[in-house]
Each structure stands twice: as C-alpha cells, then as structure tokens.
Amino acid sequence: MDNKQALRQMGQRRRQALAPGGSLSGPLQPLLDDARRVAAYVPVGDEPGVPPQLGWLLPVLLPGGDLDWAEFTGELQQTTRGLREPVGPRLGVDAIADCDLVLVPALLVDRHGNRLGKGGGSYDRALPRATGLTVALLYDGELVDTLPAEAHDVRVAAVATPLGGLVRLSGS
C-alpha cells in the first residue's frame, strides 16, 4: 500500500470517529459575500461542506473521472455512485474557470496546499482550469504539516475549518 493510500485510510478512520461539529459558514462568509460566482460540491457522508446556494456551480462526475459543472437550481439527483448532482443543463468542464471562489473537498491538506482527496483524481483534473481562489473545506485537525505530493497533484490556496477559520497557505 502506498503512503497516500495509508494516509487516506487514516484520514477516513479519523473522520468517522469524529463527532463533526462547527459550521464553515462563518469562516467562509466574507468570501461568499464577495464572490461573483461560486463552484462548490455536495458533501457525501461525513464530508464537511456548506449547503449549496441557488446559482452555484456544482460538479457532475463524468465517466472518465473529470468534472462537468451545472448550476444549482434547487434540485439534486442521486447517482448510482452515491453522489448527489444538480439536474440543470451541463455547462462543460471549463465552466469552473468563470468562478472566483472554488470550494473543494479534501481529507487532509498540508501547509503548502497539497490536498489529499479520496483518490479518484477528479479535482486534480478540474482544478488546473480554476482561476479563482481554491479553498478546501476541512474539519479541525485535518490541516497537517506535510503530505506526499506528485507532479499531477494540484494545490489549493487556502483551507477553512470550523474553529481555525480561513487559512491562506504558502506555496500554492
């Protein structure tokens, strides 16, 4: 088992043992107030997140693992992969480039912006197209000193946690 896989398993076990609490709405509110267009995600299981707002772009997982985007109109559909996705028209993989704030799921992030997700690589495909501020949403204790990173891994610029608030990261 590689180091990233071991860290993913550790992060998932730790998250399952948590009694998640605290809101990310407070730390994110100034960014949300200033954002003209937001890309976000619908949390699955024990993932931290914020409720999507009308007009936000939400991801639609494509068969090859990339992410298409659709505007949230208030309705989500359950997919066979256990995700909840928007039902609106697809805007294309490049739609994320029009967002000035991109909220990203993660299991762990290090102080250089290296993000460890669930291992599918969807956000590593999508984030190079993002031009806005990329913020990983975490629970407290999931911002760590260092993580292994590979050439294809895309860094995030900041993280938000319920108690730690918004933290801008070096190296991203």
Indicate whether 83 belongs to any domain. no
pLDDT for res 107: 92
Q: How many domains does the chain have?
A: 1
Q: What is the mean pLDDT of residues 81-95?
A: 93
pLDDT for res 120: 82
The range of the structural domain enclosing residue 32 comes to: 3-48+94-168
Indicate whether 62 belongs to any domain. no
pTM score: 0.90
The pair of structure tokens assigned to 30 is: 């100034």
CB atoms within 10 A of CB 2: 8
pLDDT for res 24: 84
CB atoms within 10 A of CB 8: 18
pLDDT for res 152: 83
Looking only at the bridges linking them, the beta strands covering 101-105 and 38-39 are parallel
The pLDDT-based confidence of 1 (bands split at 50, 70, 90) is very low
Closest by CA to 106, choosing from 92, 122, 91, is 122
Indicate whether 120 belongs to any domain. yes
Closest by CA to 166, choosing from 34, 37, 58, is 34
Indicate whether 142 belongs to any domain. yes
Please name the residue that has the structure tokens 């998932």. 12
Please name the residue that has the structure tokens 């946690």. 161
pLDDT tens per residue across span 15-64: 766 655 667 888 899 999 999 999 999 998 888 999 999 999 999 999 99
pLDDT tens per residue across span 54-67: 999 999 999 999 99
The pair of structure tokens assigned to 12 is: 């998932």
Asked if 52 and 64 count as a contact pair (C-beta separation under 8 A), the reply is no
Q: Average pLDDT, whole number, for the chain? A: 89
Indicate whether 57 belongs to any domain. no
Indicate whether 74 belongs to any domain. no
The pair of structure tokens assigned to 56 is: 């936000």
Whether 10 shows a pLDDT value over 80: the answer reads no
Look up the CATH number of the domain holding residue 123.
3.40.50.10420
Indicate whether 149 belongs to any domain. yes
Indicate whether 73 belongs to any domain. no
